[in-house]
Chain A
Protein backbone atom coordinates (compact mmCIF):
# COMPACT_ATOMS: atom_id res chain seq x y z
CA UNK A 1 0.00 0.00 0.00
CA UNK A 2 1.39 3.36 -1.02
CA UNK A 3 1.82 5.60 2.01
CA UNK A 4 0.97 9.21 1.16
CA UNK A 5 0.79 10.26 4.83
CA UNK A 6 4.01 8.82 6.20
CA UNK A 7 6.04 10.04 9.17
CA UNK A 8 8.80 11.19 6.82
CA UNK A 9 9.00 11.96 3.12
CA UNK A 10 12.48 11.62 1.66
CA UNK A 11 12.85 13.58 -1.56
CA UNK A 12 15.39 11.75 -3.70
CA UNK A 13 15.84 8.02 -4.19
CA UNK A 14 19.55 7.80 -4.90
CA UNK A 15 22.31 6.47 -2.69
CA UNK A 16 21.89 9.28 -0.15
CA UNK A 17 18.08 9.32 -0.04
CA UNK A 18 17.69 5.56 0.15
CA UNK A 19 20.41 5.09 2.79
CA UNK A 20 18.70 7.70 4.97
CA UNK A 21 15.24 6.29 4.23
CA UNK A 22 16.35 2.78 5.13
CA UNK A 23 17.89 4.08 8.34
CA UNK A 24 14.66 5.89 9.19
CA UNK A 25 12.70 2.64 8.80
CA UNK A 26 14.98 1.11 11.41
CA UNK A 27 13.96 3.99 13.69
CA UNK A 28 10.42 2.59 13.37
CA UNK A 29 9.13 5.47 11.25
CA UNK A 30 6.85 5.14 8.25
CA UNK A 31 8.83 6.43 5.27
CA UNK A 32 7.98 7.36 1.70
CA UNK A 33 10.67 8.13 -0.88
CA UNK A 34 9.80 10.37 -3.83
CA UNK A 35 12.17 9.78 -6.72
CA UNK A 36 12.46 11.24 -10.20
CA UNK A 37 12.17 9.10 -13.30
CA UNK A 38 14.75 7.20 -15.30
CA UNK A 39 15.99 10.28 -17.13
CA UNK A 40 17.10 12.16 -14.00
CA UNK A 41 20.74 13.12 -13.61
CA UNK A 42 21.38 10.61 -10.83
CA UNK A 43 24.80 10.99 -9.26
CA UNK A 44 24.22 7.43 -8.04
CA UNK A 45 25.33 6.11 -11.42
CA UNK A 46 28.24 8.50 -11.79
CA UNK A 47 30.52 7.24 -9.07
CA UNK A 48 33.41 4.86 -8.84
CA UNK A 49 32.07 2.72 -6.01
CA UNK A 50 34.97 3.60 -3.75
CA UNK A 51 34.51 3.39 0.02
CA UNK A 52 37.47 5.61 0.51
CA UNK A 53 39.30 7.05 3.48
CA UNK A 54 42.69 8.24 2.24
CA UNK A 55 42.81 11.88 1.24
CA UNK A 56 39.38 12.74 2.65
CA UNK A 57 39.20 15.57 5.16
CA UNK A 58 42.74 16.87 4.85
CA UNK A 59 41.22 20.32 5.43
CA UNK A 60 38.54 19.20 7.86
CA UNK A 61 39.12 16.98 10.86
CA UNK A 62 35.36 16.42 11.38
CA UNK A 63 35.01 15.24 7.78
CA UNK A 64 37.98 12.93 8.22
CA UNK A 65 36.30 11.49 11.32
CA UNK A 66 32.89 11.11 9.65
CA UNK A 67 34.52 9.38 6.66
CA UNK A 68 36.54 7.03 8.83
CA UNK A 69 33.52 6.22 10.96
CA UNK A 70 31.38 5.39 7.93
CA UNK A 71 34.07 3.28 6.26
CA UNK A 72 34.51 1.27 9.45
CA UNK A 73 30.77 0.60 9.63
CA UNK A 74 30.55 -0.45 5.98
CA UNK A 75 31.41 -4.17 6.34
CA UNK A 76 28.61 -4.79 8.84
CA UNK A 77 26.34 -2.44 6.90
CA UNK A 78 26.93 -4.43 3.71
CA UNK A 79 26.16 -7.70 5.48
CA UNK A 80 22.94 -6.25 6.87
CA UNK A 81 21.95 -4.95 3.43
CA UNK A 82 22.56 -8.35 1.89
CA UNK A 83 20.54 -10.09 4.63
CA UNK A 84 17.59 -7.75 4.19
CA UNK A 85 17.59 -7.54 0.41
CA UNK A 86 19.12 -10.81 -0.78
CA UNK A 87 21.43 -8.71 -2.95
CA UNK A 88 25.16 -8.59 -2.34
CA UNK A 89 26.53 -5.03 -2.53
CA UNK A 90 29.93 -6.56 -3.33
CA UNK A 91 31.83 -4.70 -0.65
CA UNK A 92 35.47 -5.48 -0.08
CA UNK A 93 37.85 -3.66 2.22
CA UNK A 94 41.35 -4.95 1.57
CA UNK A 95 42.97 -1.61 0.96
CA UNK A 96 43.35 0.79 -1.94
CA UNK A 97 45.90 2.96 -3.66
CA UNK A 98 46.19 6.38 -5.19
CA UNK A 99 48.94 6.50 -7.78
CA UNK A 100 51.23 9.33 -8.85
CA UNK A 101 53.06 9.70 -12.13
CA UNK A 102 55.34 12.50 -10.91
CA UNK A 103 57.53 12.90 -7.84
CA UNK A 104 56.09 16.27 -6.79
CA UNK A 105 52.58 14.81 -6.97
CA UNK A 106 53.70 12.03 -4.61
CA UNK A 107 55.36 14.46 -2.20
CA UNK A 108 52.18 16.57 -2.05
CA UNK A 109 50.06 13.52 -1.37
CA UNK A 110 52.42 12.26 1.32
CA UNK A 111 52.20 15.62 3.09
CA UNK A 112 48.40 15.55 2.86
CA UNK A 113 48.30 12.08 4.39
CA UNK A 114 50.51 13.20 7.25
CA UNK A 115 48.02 15.98 7.98
CA UNK A 116 45.16 13.51 7.79
CA UNK A 117 46.94 11.29 10.31
CA UNK A 118 47.06 14.21 12.73
CA UNK A 119 43.28 14.66 12.36
CA UNK A 120 42.51 10.97 12.69
CA UNK A 121 45.34 9.10 14.44
CA UNK A 122 43.70 5.81 13.54
CA UNK A 123 44.32 6.43 9.83
CA UNK A 124 46.89 3.98 8.45
CA UNK A 125 48.80 4.49 5.25
CA UNK A 126 52.10 3.79 3.49
CA UNK A 127 53.97 5.97 1.03
CA UNK A 128 55.30 3.71 -1.72
CA UNK A 129 57.76 4.02 -4.56
CA UNK A 130 57.11 2.27 -7.89
CA UNK A 131 58.48 -1.04 -6.62
CA UNK A 132 56.28 -0.77 -3.55
CA UNK A 133 53.20 -0.11 -5.69
CA UNK A 134 54.05 -3.10 -7.90
CA UNK A 135 54.01 -5.40 -4.87
CA UNK A 136 50.29 -4.63 -4.62
CA UNK A 137 49.64 -4.09 -8.33
CA UNK A 138 52.18 -6.04 -10.41
CA UNK A 139 50.86 -4.58 -13.66
CA UNK A 140 51.53 -0.97 -12.62
CA UNK A 141 54.18 0.73 -14.72
CA UNK A 142 57.71 0.72 -13.22
CA UNK A 143 58.03 4.33 -14.40
CA UNK A 144 55.51 5.88 -12.01
CA UNK A 145 56.71 7.93 -9.04
CA UNK A 146 54.77 5.78 -6.58
CA UNK A 147 51.59 5.99 -4.58
CA UNK A 148 49.81 5.84 -1.26
CA UNK A 149 48.33 2.61 0.09
CA UNK A 150 45.78 2.57 2.87
CA UNK A 151 44.48 -0.73 4.27
CA UNK A 152 41.30 1.10 5.25
CA UNK A 153 40.15 1.80 1.70
CA UNK A 154 37.75 -0.44 -0.15
CA UNK A 155 35.14 -0.54 -2.86
CA UNK A 156 31.65 -1.70 -3.54
CA UNK A 157 29.43 -2.33 -6.57
CA UNK A 158 27.50 0.95 -6.70
CA UNK A 159 24.61 -0.25 -8.85
CA UNK A 160 24.17 -3.40 -6.78
CA UNK A 161 24.30 -1.26 -3.65
CA UNK A 162 21.54 0.99 -4.95
CA UNK A 163 19.51 -2.07 -5.90
CA UNK A 164 20.09 -3.63 -2.46
CA UNK A 165 19.09 -0.38 -0.72
CA UNK A 166 15.84 -0.08 -2.64
CA UNK A 167 14.98 -3.75 -2.20
CA UNK A 168 15.76 -3.62 1.52
CA UNK A 169 13.75 -0.41 1.90
CA UNK A 170 10.67 -1.89 0.28
CA UNK A 171 11.08 -5.24 2.04
CA UNK A 172 10.95 -3.43 5.38
CA UNK A 173 7.72 -1.66 4.47
CA UNK A 174 8.97 1.58 2.93
CA UNK A 175 7.03 3.21 0.09
CA UNK A 176 9.04 4.08 -3.01
CA UNK A 177 7.37 6.41 -5.53
CA UNK A 178 9.22 6.66 -8.84
CA UNK A 179 8.50 9.35 -11.46
CA UNK A 180 7.35 11.48 -8.54
CA UNK A 181 9.28 14.71 -8.89
CA UNK A 182 8.36 17.08 -6.05
CA UNK A 183 7.23 20.44 -7.45
CA UNK A 184 6.39 22.28 -4.26
CA UNK A 185 6.57 21.94 -0.47
CA UNK A 186 4.35 23.94 1.89
CA UNK A 187 4.84 24.15 5.63
CA UNK A 188 1.86 24.86 7.82
CA UNK A 189 1.12 24.21 11.49
CA UNK A 190 4.04 21.87 11.91
CA UNK A 191 3.24 19.73 8.89
CA UNK A 192 4.56 19.56 5.34
CA UNK A 193 2.50 19.19 2.17
CA UNK A 194 4.41 18.03 -0.88
CA UNK A 195 3.01 18.33 -4.37
CA UNK A 196 4.10 16.03 -7.18
CA UNK A 197 2.37 15.23 -10.50
CA UNK A 198 -0.96 13.67 -9.60
CA UNK A 199 -0.10 13.30 -5.93
CA UNK A 200 -0.11 15.21 -2.66
CA UNK A 201 1.77 13.90 0.38
CA UNK A 202 1.66 15.02 3.98
CA UNK A 203 4.18 14.36 6.70
CA UNK A 204 5.66 15.80 9.88
CA UNK A 205 9.20 15.54 8.51
CA UNK A 206 10.83 16.03 5.13
CA UNK A 207 14.35 15.13 4.09
CA UNK A 208 15.78 16.79 1.00
CA UNK A 209 18.20 14.27 -0.48
CA UNK A 210 17.70 15.23 -4.10
CA UNK A 211 21.30 15.98 -4.98
CA UNK A 212 21.39 18.86 -7.45
CA UNK A 213 17.63 19.24 -7.00
CA UNK A 214 18.25 20.38 -3.42
CA UNK A 215 19.23 23.82 -4.67
CA UNK A 216 15.69 24.41 -5.90
CA UNK A 217 13.90 22.63 -3.06
CA UNK A 218 15.82 23.96 -0.06
CA UNK A 219 14.41 27.54 -0.10
CA UNK A 220 10.90 26.11 -0.01
CA UNK A 221 11.55 25.00 3.56
CA UNK A 222 13.80 27.79 4.77
CA UNK A 223 17.07 26.08 3.91
CA UNK A 224 19.96 26.99 1.62
CA UNK A 225 21.74 24.30 -0.39
CA UNK A 226 24.32 25.91 -2.68
CA UNK A 227 25.28 22.78 -4.61
CA UNK A 228 26.72 22.82 -8.11
CA UNK A 229 27.15 20.05 -10.65
CA UNK A 230 30.58 18.58 -11.31
CA UNK A 231 30.73 16.23 -14.26
CA UNK A 232 32.72 13.01 -14.17
CA UNK A 233 33.29 10.90 -17.26
CA UNK A 234 33.96 7.20 -17.07
CA UNK A 235 35.20 4.56 -19.52
CA UNK A 236 34.29 0.92 -19.20
CA UNK A 237 36.38 -1.83 -20.79
CA UNK A 238 35.54 -5.34 -21.90
CA UNK A 239 35.66 -7.98 -19.16
CA UNK A 240 39.12 -9.44 -18.78
CA UNK A 241 40.85 -11.84 -16.44
CA UNK A 242 41.44 -10.29 -12.99
CA UNK A 243 44.68 -8.33 -12.76
CA UNK A 244 43.91 -5.50 -10.30
CA UNK A 245 43.65 -6.87 -6.81
CA UNK A 246 43.15 -3.43 -5.24
CA UNK A 247 41.13 -0.41 -6.40
CA UNK A 248 42.87 2.84 -7.24
CA UNK A 249 41.32 6.28 -7.43
CA UNK A 250 41.25 6.36 -11.21
CA UNK A 251 41.32 2.71 -12.32
CA UNK A 252 39.54 -0.21 -10.72
CA UNK A 253 38.45 -3.67 -11.79
CA UNK A 254 35.05 -5.02 -10.84
CA UNK A 255 34.21 -8.57 -9.81
CA UNK A 256 32.86 -9.20 -13.31
CA UNK A 257 36.27 -8.38 -14.79
CA UNK A 258 35.32 -4.98 -16.20
CA UNK A 259 37.91 -2.23 -15.82
CA UNK A 260 36.45 1.14 -14.90
CA UNK A 261 38.53 4.21 -15.75
CA UNK A 262 37.96 7.70 -14.35
CA UNK A 263 38.37 10.36 -13.28
CA UNK A 264 37.48 13.80 -14.45
CA UNK A 265 36.14 16.82 -12.62
CA UNK A 266 34.52 19.34 -14.95
CA UNK A 267 32.36 22.39 -14.37
CA UNK A 268 30.11 22.27 -17.41
CA UNK A 269 26.71 23.04 -15.93
CA UNK A 270 24.02 20.46 -16.53
CA UNK A 271 25.80 18.67 -19.37
CA UNK A 272 26.22 14.96 -18.63
CA UNK A 273 27.69 14.06 -21.99
CA UNK A 274 31.20 12.95 -22.85
CA UNK A 275 34.05 14.74 -24.63
CA UNK A 276 36.65 12.89 -26.69
CA UNK A 277 39.45 15.13 -25.35
CA UNK A 278 38.60 14.27 -21.75
CA UNK A 279 38.26 10.58 -22.48
CA UNK A 280 41.58 10.65 -24.34
CA UNK A 281 43.28 12.29 -21.35
CA UNK A 282 41.79 9.66 -19.04
CA UNK A 283 42.97 6.90 -21.36
CA UNK A 284 46.48 8.37 -21.54
CA UNK A 285 46.76 8.50 -17.77
CA UNK A 286 45.31 5.02 -17.31
CA UNK A 287 47.73 3.49 -19.82
CA UNK A 288 50.64 5.41 -18.30
CA UNK A 289 49.74 3.82 -14.96
CA UNK A 290 48.93 0.36 -16.40
CA UNK A 291 50.54 -0.16 -19.82
CA UNK A 292 48.69 -3.41 -20.47
CA UNK A 293 45.43 -1.45 -20.66
CA UNK A 294 46.52 -0.23 -24.10
CA UNK A 295 45.05 -3.29 -25.75
CA UNK A 296 41.83 -3.36 -23.74
CA UNK A 297 38.74 -2.46 -25.71
CA UNK A 298 36.45 0.26 -24.45
CA UNK A 299 32.88 -0.95 -24.34
CA UNK A 300 31.05 2.20 -23.28
CA UNK A 301 31.54 5.63 -21.84
CA UNK A 302 29.24 7.98 -20.05
CA UNK A 303 29.21 11.18 -18.08
CA UNK A 304 27.34 11.91 -14.89
CA UNK A 305 26.82 14.97 -12.74
CA UNK A 306 27.97 14.79 -9.14
CA UNK A 307 27.29 17.16 -6.32
CA UNK A 308 29.72 19.76 -4.96
CA UNK A 309 29.19 22.20 -2.12
CA UNK A 310 31.33 25.36 -1.97
CA UNK A 311 33.85 23.75 0.40
CA UNK A 312 33.40 20.16 -0.78
CA UNK A 313 32.11 19.06 2.62
CA UNK A 314 28.69 17.54 3.27
CA UNK A 315 25.67 19.62 4.22
CA UNK A 316 23.40 18.31 6.97
CA UNK A 317 21.00 20.82 8.46
CA UNK A 318 17.57 21.10 10.03
CA UNK A 319 15.55 24.12 9.01
CA UNK A 320 15.04 26.73 11.73
CA UNK A 321 11.99 28.34 10.14
CA UNK A 322 10.41 25.00 9.23
CA UNK A 323 11.48 22.54 11.93
CA UNK A 324 11.20 18.98 10.72
CA UNK A 325 12.68 19.80 7.31
CA UNK A 326 16.19 18.54 6.75
CA UNK A 327 18.69 18.73 3.93
CA UNK A 328 21.34 16.03 3.44
CA UNK A 329 23.74 16.33 0.55
CA UNK A 330 27.34 15.36 -0.07
CA UNK A 331 29.86 14.38 -2.71
CA UNK A 332 30.76 10.95 -1.33
CA UNK A 333 27.41 9.23 -1.18
CA UNK A 334 28.96 5.77 -1.43
CA UNK A 335 31.51 6.10 1.38
CA UNK A 336 29.03 7.88 3.65
CA UNK A 337 26.11 5.49 3.06
CA UNK A 338 26.67 3.65 6.36
CA UNK A 339 26.85 6.94 8.28
CA UNK A 340 23.73 8.19 6.51
CA UNK A 341 21.84 5.13 7.62
CA UNK A 342 23.23 4.83 11.14
CA UNK A 343 24.09 8.39 12.24
CA UNK A 344 22.16 10.86 10.06
CA UNK A 345 18.88 8.92 10.06
CA UNK A 346 18.66 8.67 13.89
CA UNK A 347 19.36 12.42 14.12
CA UNK A 348 16.56 13.11 11.62
CA UNK A 349 14.28 10.80 13.59
CA UNK A 350 14.71 13.05 16.61
CA UNK A 351 17.74 11.75 18.46
CA UNK A 352 20.33 14.15 19.80
CA UNK A 353 22.43 15.76 17.11
CA UNK A 354 25.92 14.28 17.14
CA UNK A 355 28.55 16.98 17.78
CA UNK A 356 30.27 15.71 14.70
CA UNK A 357 27.50 17.17 12.54
CA UNK A 358 27.87 20.78 13.69
CA UNK A 359 30.56 21.47 11.13
CA UNK A 360 28.25 20.49 8.32
CA UNK A 361 25.51 22.98 9.11
CA UNK A 362 24.62 25.32 6.23
CA UNK A 363 25.22 28.47 8.30
CA UNK A 364 28.83 28.26 7.16
CA UNK A 365 27.74 29.29 3.66
CA UNK A 366 26.08 32.52 4.75
CA UNK A 367 27.89 35.64 3.76
Chain B
Protein backbone atom coordinates (compact mmCIF):
# COMPACT_ATOMS: atom_id res chain seq x y z
CA UNK B 1 0.00 0.00 0.00
CA UNK B 2 1.31 3.47 -0.85
CA UNK B 3 2.57 5.46 2.12
CA UNK B 4 0.36 8.28 3.39
CA UNK B 5 2.38 11.46 3.20
CA UNK B 6 2.37 13.82 6.16
CA UNK B 7 3.05 17.47 5.49
CA UNK B 8 4.00 20.04 8.07
CA UNK B 9 3.57 23.74 7.62
CA UNK B 10 6.90 25.51 7.95
CA UNK B 11 7.14 28.79 9.85
CA UNK B 12 6.39 31.79 7.65
CA UNK B 13 5.16 35.33 7.88
CA UNK B 14 1.44 35.41 8.65
CA UNK B 15 -0.69 36.41 5.73
CA UNK B 16 -4.33 37.01 5.07
CA UNK B 17 -6.76 34.15 5.47
CA UNK B 18 -9.73 33.12 3.35
CA UNK B 19 -12.43 30.53 3.98
CA UNK B 20 -12.99 27.77 1.46
CA UNK B 21 -14.99 24.57 1.70
CA UNK B 22 -13.52 21.18 0.92
CA UNK B 23 -16.22 18.54 0.40
CA UNK B 24 -18.65 20.89 2.16
CA UNK B 25 -16.47 21.45 5.21
CA UNK B 26 -15.21 25.00 5.85
CA UNK B 27 -11.51 25.64 6.33
CA UNK B 28 -9.49 28.80 6.86
CA UNK B 29 -6.54 28.78 4.53
CA UNK B 30 -3.67 31.11 3.70
CA UNK B 31 -4.83 33.44 0.93
CA UNK B 32 -1.50 33.02 -0.86
CA UNK B 33 -1.93 29.29 -1.33
CA UNK B 34 -3.07 27.26 -4.31
CA UNK B 35 -5.99 24.88 -3.87
CA UNK B 36 -3.49 21.99 -3.95
CA UNK B 37 -1.55 23.44 -1.04
CA UNK B 38 -4.80 23.91 0.87
CA UNK B 39 -5.79 20.29 0.17
CA UNK B 40 -2.47 18.96 1.38
CA UNK B 41 -2.53 21.20 4.47
CA UNK B 42 -5.84 19.63 5.44
CA UNK B 43 -4.81 16.02 4.88
CA UNK B 44 -6.17 15.51 1.38
CA UNK B 45 -3.10 14.05 -0.30
CA UNK B 46 -5.31 11.89 -2.50
CA UNK B 47 -8.04 13.78 -4.29
CA UNK B 48 -9.21 11.75 -7.23
CA UNK B 49 -9.79 8.20 -8.34
CA UNK B 50 -8.70 6.52 -11.55
CA UNK B 51 -10.32 3.66 -13.44
CA UNK B 52 -7.22 1.52 -13.39
CA UNK B 53 -5.54 1.95 -10.03
CA UNK B 54 -5.43 3.61 -6.62
CA UNK B 55 -6.43 7.16 -5.80
CA UNK B 56 -4.07 9.96 -6.81
CA UNK B 57 -3.34 13.48 -5.69
CA UNK B 58 -1.13 16.52 -6.19
CA UNK B 59 2.32 15.50 -7.35
CA UNK B 60 4.29 17.99 -9.42
CA UNK B 61 2.65 21.11 -7.96
CA UNK B 62 3.49 22.88 -11.23
CA UNK B 63 0.76 22.15 -13.74
CA UNK B 64 2.42 19.29 -15.60
CA UNK B 65 1.15 16.00 -14.19
CA UNK B 66 -2.63 16.66 -14.07
CA UNK B 67 -3.03 14.44 -11.00
CA UNK B 68 -4.53 17.17 -8.77
CA UNK B 69 -7.83 17.48 -10.61
CA UNK B 70 -10.74 18.51 -8.37
CA UNK B 71 -14.08 20.22 -8.94
CA UNK B 72 -13.76 23.94 -8.16
CA UNK B 73 -17.02 25.89 -7.94
CA UNK B 74 -18.90 24.93 -11.12
CA UNK B 75 -16.00 23.58 -13.13
CA UNK B 76 -15.09 19.90 -12.94
CA UNK B 77 -11.52 18.63 -13.04
CA UNK B 78 -9.55 21.80 -12.60
CA UNK B 79 -5.88 21.65 -11.70
CA UNK B 80 -5.74 22.45 -7.99
CA UNK B 81 -2.05 23.40 -8.14
CA UNK B 82 -2.68 26.06 -10.79
CA UNK B 83 -5.67 27.64 -9.02
CA UNK B 84 -5.20 30.15 -6.19
CA UNK B 85 -7.72 29.94 -3.34
CA UNK B 86 -10.43 32.60 -3.09
CA UNK B 87 -12.98 33.53 -0.45
CA UNK B 88 -16.03 31.25 -0.64
CA UNK B 89 -14.47 28.81 -3.07
CA UNK B 90 -16.08 25.34 -3.06
CA UNK B 91 -13.76 22.44 -3.70
CA UNK B 92 -15.13 18.95 -4.21
CA UNK B 93 -13.01 15.82 -4.43
CA UNK B 94 -14.61 13.46 -6.91
CA UNK B 95 -15.39 9.96 -5.77
CA UNK B 96 -16.04 8.82 -9.29
CA UNK B 97 -14.90 9.57 -12.80
CA UNK B 98 -16.23 12.60 -14.56
CA UNK B 99 -18.97 11.68 -17.01
CA UNK B 100 -18.86 13.75 -20.19
CA UNK B 101 -22.27 15.00 -21.27
Residues of chain A having any CB pair with chain B under 8 Å? 139, 238-243, 255-257, 292-293, 295-297, 299-300
Contacts and interface: CB of A to CB of B under 8 A. Distances in A.
B98 interface: yes
A255 B100 contact: no
B100 A293 contact: yes
A293 B98 CA distance: 12
A239 B51 contact: yes
Interface of B: 50-52, 66, 69, 77, 96-101
B66 A242 contact: no
A256 B100 contact: no
Tell me if A's interface is mostly helix, strand, loop or mixed: loop
B98 A292 contact: no
Nearest to B78: A297
A255 B66 contact: no
Contact of B77 (A238, A255, A256): A238
12 contacts: A239-B50, A239-B51, A239-B97, A240-B97, A241-B97, A242-B51, A255-B52, A257-B50, A257-B52, A257-B97, A292-B101, A295-B101
Which of A238, A255, A293: most chain B Cβ within 10 A? A238
Contacts of A242: 51, 97
Nearest to A297: B77
A295 B66 contact: no
Nearest to A296: B100
Which of A239, A255, A295: most chain B Cβ within 10 A? A239
B30 to A, nearest CB: 27
